[in-house]
Amino acid sequence: MQIVLALVIGALFGFVLDRIGATNPSVLIRMLSLRSLGLMKAILLAIGVGSILMFGGQMAGLVDVGHMSVKTAYVGVFIGGLLLGAGWALSGFCPGTGVCAAATGRKDALFFILGGLLGAAAYMITYPSVKATGMLDAIAGGKVTLGTVPGAKYDGLMAMPGDVLGIVLGLIFVAVAFAVPEAPGGDAVPAPAE
């Protein structure tokens, strides 16, 4: 059953990533250089919609709180984020979109995947020395959500109800998605015709 779900949800994810232009490095780079923010609007809207449905579903008792999976906060999250961001802007790919882009026939994406496999291998080898620096040690409580989600195994950074906060933040993401201009510089680069 799990495998069937992996096939269905994974295929949907890959399909939608391609349909919003996320497998195209030109679209990604134009987004990251703040020239064309249509994809950013879609991502913000997606986070908002996902958040509202998940926390709303939890409050209605329809979504299992136990399905949440919150990652640990540590200094390396920020440093790793910086590295990922730099490589993302350089190549126009992130791990998920790179894999999908290769499947759409992009040759450069194969080189991205090859580099990615080596980068991941380099981390596997250097992991003990990275760990020794202490930058993987949990900060601010580690696996925490911003509010305290009822029934979740994670602590909240703040005591306020995490499900309500999640819906409020979800609505804010949706509002920001609408507020962000599609072409901030005013240089109306049309969306690539595909």
131-160 residues near another protein, rule: CB under 8 A: 131, 140-141, 143-147, 149, 157
Member of 78, 151, 175, 181 binding another protein (CB under 8 A): 78
∠ at Cα 133 (128, 135), nearest 5°?
Answer: 100
Q: Tell me if 175 contacts another protein by CB under 8 A.
A: no
Whether the CB-CB separation of 64 and 187 falls below 8 Å is answered with no
Q: Which of residues 54-73 bind another protein (CB under 8 A)?
A: 54, 57, 62-64, 67-73
User: To the nearest whole angstrom, how small is the minimum distance from the Cβ of residue 59 to another protein?
Assistant: 14
One residue of 103, 171, 172, 175 binding another protein per CB under 8 A: 103
Of 79, 51, 6, give the one whose Cα is nearest residue 162: 51
CB of 14 to another protein, least distance (A): 3
Among 12, 56, 92, smallest CA distance to 169 is for 56
State yes or no: residue 118 binds another protein (CB under 8 A). yes
Question: Contact with another protein (CB under 8 A): which of 123, 134, 172, 175?
Answer: 123
Exactly one of 59, 60, 61, 108 binds another protein (CB under 8 A); which one?
108
